[in-house]
Amino acid sequence: MRATAEVKRCQDCRAMVIAAINTDARDTLCDVIPLSRPGELAANIAGRRTLRLDTDKRLWTTGADRIRTEPMPGDRILAEHRCGQPVPAAWTQPLPEPSDSPDMEVPF
């Protein structure tokens, strides 16, 4: 099974994308810029699917049912590629991590 992800260009808009067959066995294109955890939420709320690329270059579908799970170390969260809709910068910024902040809990 050739499921490992590779970087290529979208045939429609020529943007750099990560292409893979995801765990739902569907051919999937993702934008290359990794999302932050809040960005993953924001993307889902905006109706954009998100996927996780693990260190074995496998692409896993995430979504409302799996959003609560923390990514494994080394995983990258990616948004589904949509031509002409680049990932907003606000989705990609890393979380500020003050050491005394309580853990964020997703309320759903």
| Interacting residues with Zn ion (CB under 5 A) | 10, 12-13, 83
Q: Which is nearer to Zn ion, 13 or 72 (CB)?
A: 13
Nearest approach, Cβ of residue 46 and Zn ion (Å): 17
Q: Which residues pair with 52 in a beta bridge?
A: 60, 77
Q: Tell me the three-class secondary structure of 25-78, residue by residue.
A: CCEEEEECCCCCHHHHHHHHHCCCCEEEECCCCCEEECCCCCCCCCCCCCCEEE
The nearest distance, CB 84 to Zn ion, in angstroms, is 7
In whole angstroms, the minimum distance from the beta carbon of 83 to Zn ion comes to: 3
Closer Cβ to Zn ion, 30 or 35, answer by number: 30
- For Zn ion, the closer of residues 46 and 83 by Cβ is 83
Of 41, 38, 5, nearest in space to 20 by CA: 5
